[in-house]
Amino acid sequence: MGQRHTGARGFFLPAFLLIGLIGCSGSSMIPEMKDVTDSFTDRTKREAALNKYGAQGVVPPELTLCDMSKPVLSKTEEKEGVTFYTLESRVEKCEHSPAAVGTVRIFAIGWKNGKIVKFAWGGPKGGKVEY
């Protein structure tokens, strides 16, 4: 007969495996979105990536005006054939809006066929700051 795992070891091992499976399954990014997030901390590179992948007039120019920290993916969802990645990123420096510095901006970028087809502001986190 096999040994039965009881106690903390018997509980935590399956729990960690389940958490790992859940965490890995929903957070994968398409290569184009990864390119955008990898370019995020450099304003020039971010603007180039957004221009490369963004459909005309979809991405607001305000997204390229401030220095921002590396974004954190907080949500991925599919709506009407568009994959939305919700990101959070802190404004590090912004001569266009000094009040935005230190705030965490939230936005959703919608992708279809390797192009940004939708964009939505969802922040800032914890207060109202306009660019």
Question: Taking the chain (131 residues) in consecutive chunks of 10 residues, what is each chunk's mean pLDDT?
Answer: 52 40 56 95 95 95 92 94 96 91 93 97 69 47
Question: How high is the pLDDT of residue 129?
Answer: 52
**Per-residue model confidence (pLDDT) at position 99:** 87
Q: Tell me if 37 sits within 8 A of 55, measured CB to CB.
A: no
In order, the DSSP letters of 1-43 are: -PPPP-HHHHHHHHHHHHHHHHHHHS----HHHHHHHHTTTSH
pLDDT of residue 125: 79
In order of their start, the domains of the chain are 28-121 (3.10.450.50)
Nearest-angstrom CA–CA distance, 34 and 24: 15
Q: What length does the chain have?
A: 131
* pLDDT for the residue numbered 122: 82
